[in-house]
């Protein structure tokens, strides 16, 4: 009779077949095929069947490569596509999209998920909003029943705001193109060199001088409330309401989904202010939007650069001359969110500033933003008395393109401007150093860029990096240390447990068999227990598929899952079945060994107590388990102690 193997717990030994994530591309080893896994983003915990089906239909129709490719420059890398992550600063692409599995993962910041996850995070929307927008785009009919009362109320509110804004944009545009009262506005555009084609492309409009043009068009009380919320109408103190925009040329501000989010209007008469923007609303956040980016996005992508100008008419004048790769902030200083939006289309930004003090000040504020976001930027300084609008109208496209070709790097432009302002003496250098130190606060948390900035400018000033940082002013506050990582991370997951969970993430249809084989006893890490619980919850909704897995997971667990969906290799069904059988057999062996360990303790205790009747029963049970273990070993002898795989 073959001697049973020695009792030994194998919770810390590697599983046969190794890690899925550690063997990319090895089709000849025991592993698994990463099936096409669709993953939800922020779904409600208990979606109705109709909604669940509709969500899947939208996911099947939506092209994740197309959605992400609109805002991230992707290049093919094997079966995947890679680009720079839009959610953190990087120069070396670590953001990966797998179109076959419908998922993305960033190896730099660990952000990952599916098409819904990306759309929601990038466009700052809720799940119902993302679902509706993608369904509209890909012509998928959604059920009328709401996914949740709170989310549907918010989605309905935003949908209503977009509708009233779109209606208003149509009314203003038609008035500008055809209305008799807009003759002066059309004449003004002609004098500014803005042709009808540009008017149409940007859907320019005109708000007449009266107080109730729009108010008279909106007869539905619900529309009026939405128009008030969108800032199109203003409430009177004694009741009623009036038009916010009057006697103004209007530029609709589109978001990247092509929806009108607000307006920017220029007065045509002598009133004030000269420019007026829509107030902030649930759909209009001027720190995130850029005028012209939606209309010019494809031209910007082709040129690989974006011209940044300060005014709407600067942009329109450039577009009228064929320079259609420009964008403009909405009357505020450039923001991090706006630069991140540009990164999806442009490899560099060229800033067209007036050469006055305000232009230099704007450039100084922009330096840390571009450095932190790692988007190269250059500056064109226009001749005195000119802005982009007047220069391109007077000198034409060719001269403007010549200036763009000669643009100076942004950081050098700032230093040269400060040097011209303060001089190169000791006092001047001290003032320049003080100005530069204010920029360093914008680089907190970006250690490499901070160090490069200090090294570059300290050399120009002829001082040490330490003096550059300290100067005579208090040392800039040290950025807060990042929070300590939870102990419940992938690193806390023993190798064996990791292999089991990797297999189940890719092949959730085996979960029930693994549970019956005792996987819950083997998974001891809190990180692993959390993932196992997510797997149990996910398969309850639709057997054999894990559409909800990424939605249920968060933090390190979500990063672990999304990375696996990108890196897991593909294998035949035969190898998948073999891997499953080996892992199940291994689990059963471990379960038997744990029971044998417990029986051995009981046998020793019965022996000490002199309870021979109980001792004999325990020995018989142990013999049965020994035989069962031998049977398991004979099925996969390579898993025995003498031949570990």
**What is the mean predicted confidence (pLDDT) over 567-581?**
79
**What is the mean predicted confidence (pLDDT) over 154-171?**
93
Judge whether 473 and 441 are in contact, CB under 8 Å: no
Distance CA 36, CA 420 (A): 61
What pLDDT was estimated at residue 318? 97
The DSSP secondary-structure symbol of 180 reads G
β partners of residue 264: 251, 277
Sequence-distant (6+) residues with CB within 8 A of 380 are: 350, 351, 352, 353, 403, 404, 406, 407
What pLDDT was estimated at residue 54? 79
pLDDT at 483 over 90: no
Strands (DSSP E) along 211-321, which ranges? Answer: 233-235, 241-243, 248-254, 260-267, 275-277, 305-308
Architecture of domain 150-277: Alpha-Beta Complex (3.90)
Distance CA 91, CA 518 (A): 46
* Nearest CA-CA partner of 39 in 63, 55, 22, 19: 55
- DSSP result, 440-488: HGGGTT-HHHHHHHHHHHHHHHTS-HHHHHHTTSPPPPPPPPPPPPPS-
Distance CA 564, CA 34 (A): 9
Distance CA 405, CA 416 (A): 19
Confidence label for 20 from pLDDT (cuts 50, 70 and 90): low
From residue 189, alpha-carbon distances to 193, 207, 264 in Å are 6, 14, 16
Confidence label for 87 from pLDDT (cuts 50, 70 and 90): confident
**What is the mean predicted confidence (pLDDT) over 161-189?**
96
Distance CA 521, CA 9 (A): 12
Q: Which residue ranges make up each domain of the chain?
A: 49-149, 150-277, 286-401, 423-473
* Low-confidence winner among 291-300, 573-582, 632-641 (lowest mean pLDDT): 632-641
**What is the mean predicted confidence (pLDDT) over 203-210?**
96
Confidence label for 49 from pLDDT (cuts 50, 70 and 90): very low
Distance CA 152, CA 129 (A): 8
Give residue-wise pLDDT tens across range 357-386.
Answer: 676 777 778 888 898 888 899 999 888 889
Q: What is the mean pLDDT of the chain?
A: 81
- Token pair 């980016």 in the structure block, residue: 293
What pLDDT was estimated at residue 624? 75
pLDDT at 46 over 70: no
pLDDT at 228 over 60: yes
Give residue-wise pLDDT tens across range 287-317.
Answer: 999 999 999 999 998 999 999 998 899 999 9
**What is the mean predicted confidence (pLDDT) over 592-618?**
78
- DSSP result, 37-55: ----SS--SS--HHHHHHH
What pLDDT was estimated at residue 637? 53
Sequence-distant (6+) residues with CB within 8 A of 617 are: none
Torsion sign (Cα): 436, 442, 445, 448: negative
361, containing H or E segment: helix 357-373
Judge whether 32 and 576 are in contact, CB under 8 Å: yes
Confidence label for 147 from pLDDT (cuts 50, 70 and 90): low
Structure tokens at 106: 């960033």
Cβ count near 234 (within 10 Å): 16
Give residue-wise pLDDT tens across range 328-357.
Answer: 999 778 998 999 889 888 999 999 976 666
Three-class SS state of 618? helix
Please give the CATH number for the structural domain made up of 286-401.
3.40.1360.10
**What is the mean predicted confidence (pLDDT) over 620-629?**
73
Sequence-distant (6+) residues with CB within 8 A of 1 are: none
Of the two residues 81 and 448, the one the predictor is more confident about is 81
Distance CA 337, CA 343 (A): 10
Of the two residues 639 and 572, the one the predictor is more confident about is 572
Give residue-wise pLDDT tens across range 401-450.
Answer: 999 999 999 888 888 888 888 888 888 888 888 888 888 877 877 777 88
* Low-confidence winner among 70-74, 423-427, 503-507 (lowest mean pLDDT): 503-507
Judge whether 591 and 12 are in contact, CB under 8 Å: no
Strand 348-353's sheet: what is its strand order? 326-327, 305-308, 348-353, 377-381, 408-409
pLDDT at 474 over 50: no
**What is the mean predicted confidence (pLDDT) over 195-208?**
97
Structure tokens at 207: 């708000």
Confidence label for 164 from pLDDT (cuts 50, 70 and 90): very high
Give residue-wise pLDDT tens across range 526-546.
Answer: 888 888 888 877 776 554 355
**What is the mean predicted confidence (pLDDT) over 51-74?**
85
What pLDDT was estimated at residue 260? 97
Judge whether 636 and 590 are in contact, CB under 8 Å: no
Confidence label for 24 from pLDDT (cuts 50, 70 and 90): very low
**What is the mean predicted confidence (pLDDT) over 40-69?**
67
Cβ count near 401 (within 10 Å): 14
Judge whether 387 and 404 are in contact, CB under 8 Å: no
Three-class SS state of 14? coil
Confidence label for 595 from pLDDT (cuts 50, 70 and 90): confident
pLDDT at 211 over 60: yes
What pLDDT was estimated at residue 308? 95
Confidence label for 457 from pLDDT (cuts 50, 70 and 90): confident
Three-class SS state of 379? strand
Distance CA 45, CA 26 (A): 37
What pLDDT was estimated at residue 635? 56
Judge whether 315 and 292 are in contact, CB under 8 Å: yes
What pLDDT was estimated at residue 18? 52
Distance CA 557, CA 68 (A): 23
* Nearest CA-CA partner of 188 in 316, 87, 324: 316
pTM: 0.61
Cβ count near 411 (within 10 Å): 23
Beta strands 95-98 and 80-83, pairing class:
antiparallel
Instruction: Determine what percent of the chain is predicted with pLDDT higher than 70.
Output: 83
* Nearest CA-CA partner of 517 in 426, 447, 420, 587: 587
* Nearest CA-CA partner of 248 in 236, 263, 259: 263
The terminus-to-terminus CA distance of the chain in angstroms comes to 25
Strands (DSSP E) along 258-353, which ranges? Answer: 260-267, 275-277, 305-308, 326-327, 348-353
HSE at residue 222, side-chain half, CA atoms within 13 A, is 6
Which class is domain 49-149? Answer: alpha beta
Three-class SS state of 332? coil
- Token pair 């800032």 in the structure block, residue: 231
Three-class SS state of 206? strand
**What is the mean predicted confidence (pLDDT) over 14-36?**
40
Instruction: Determine what percent of the chain is predicted with pLDDT higher than 90.
Output: 34
């Amino acid at each position: 009779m073959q001697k049973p193997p020695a009792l030994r717990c194998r919770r810390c030994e590697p599983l046969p077949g190794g890690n899925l994530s550690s063997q990319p591309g090895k089709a000849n080893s025991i592993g698994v095929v990463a099936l096409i896994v669709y993953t939800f983003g922020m779904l409600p915990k208990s979606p109705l069947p109709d909604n669940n089906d509709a969500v899947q239909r939208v996911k099947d129709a939506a092209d994740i490569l197309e959605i992400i490719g609109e805002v991230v420059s992707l290049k093919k890398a094997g079966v995947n596509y890679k680009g720079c992550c839009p959610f953190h600063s990087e120069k070396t692409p670590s953001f990966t999209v797998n179109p076959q599995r419908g998922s993305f993962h960033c190896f730099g910041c660990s952000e990952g998920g599916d098409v819904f996850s990306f759309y929601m995070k990038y466009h700052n929307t809720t799940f119902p909003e993302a679902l509706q927008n993608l369904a509209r785009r890909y012509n998928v009919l959604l059920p009328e029943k709401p996914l949740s009362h709170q989310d549907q109320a918010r989605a309905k509110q935003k949908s209503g705001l977009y509708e009233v804004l779109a209606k208003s944009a149509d009314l203003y545009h038609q008035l500008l193109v055809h209305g008799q009262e807009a003759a002066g506005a059309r004449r003004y555009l002609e004098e500014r060199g803005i042709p009808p084609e540009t008017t149409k492309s940007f859907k320019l409009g005109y708000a007449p001088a009266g107080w109730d043009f729009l108010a008279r068009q909106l007869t539905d009380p619900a529309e009026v409330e939405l128009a008030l919320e969108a800032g199109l109408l203003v409430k009177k103190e004694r009741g009623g309401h009036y038009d916010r925009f009057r006697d103004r040329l209007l530029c609709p501000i589109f978001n990247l989904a092509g929806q009108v989010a607000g307006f920017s209007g220029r007065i045509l008469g002598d009133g004030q202010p000269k420019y007026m923007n829509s107030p902030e609303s649930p759909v209009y956040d001027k720190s995130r939007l850029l005028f012209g980016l939606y209309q010019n996005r494809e031209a910007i992508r082709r040129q690989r650069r974006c011209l940044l100008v300060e005014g709407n008419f600067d942009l329109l004048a450039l577009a009228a001359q064929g320079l259609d790769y420009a964008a403009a902030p909405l009357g505020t200083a450039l923001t991090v969110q706006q630069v991140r939006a540009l990164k999806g289309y442009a490899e560099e930004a060229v800033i067209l500033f007036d050469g006055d003090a305000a232009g230099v000040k704007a450039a100084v504020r922009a330096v840390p933003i571009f450095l932190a976001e790692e988007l190269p930027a250059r500056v064109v300084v226009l001749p005195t008395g000119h802005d982009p609008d007047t220069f391109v109208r007077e000198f034409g496209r060719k001269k403007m393109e010549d200036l763009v070709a000669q643009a100076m790097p942004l950081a050098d432009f700032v230093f040269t401007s400060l040097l011209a302002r303060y001089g190169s003496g000791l006092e001047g250098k001290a003032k320049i150093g003080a100005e530069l130190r204010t920029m360093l606060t914008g680089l907190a948390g970006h250690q490499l860029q901070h160090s490069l900035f200090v090294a570059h400018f300290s050399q120009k000033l002829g001082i040490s990096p330490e003096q550059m940082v300290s100067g005579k002013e208090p040392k800039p506050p040290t950025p807060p240390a990042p929070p300590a990582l939870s102990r419940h991370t992938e690193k806390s997951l023993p190798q064996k447990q990791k292999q089991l969970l990797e297999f189940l993430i890719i092949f959730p249809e085996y979960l029930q068999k693994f549970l019956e084989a005792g996987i819950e006893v083997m998974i001891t890490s809190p990180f692993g227990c959390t993932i196992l619980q997510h797997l149990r919850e996910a398969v309850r909704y639709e057997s054999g598929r894990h559409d909800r897995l990424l939605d249920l997971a968060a933090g390190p667990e979500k990063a672990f899952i999304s990375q696996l969906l990108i890196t897991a290799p593909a294998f035949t069904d035969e190898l998948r079945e073999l891997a499953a059988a080996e892992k199940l057999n291994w689990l059963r062996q471990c379960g038997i060994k744990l029971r044998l360990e417990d029986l051995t303790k009981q046998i020793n205790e019965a022996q000490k107590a002199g309870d021979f009747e109980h001792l004999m029963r325990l020995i018989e049970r142990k013999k049965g388990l020994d035989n069962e273990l031998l049977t398991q070993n004979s099925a996969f002898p390579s898993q025995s102690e003498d031949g570990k795989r």
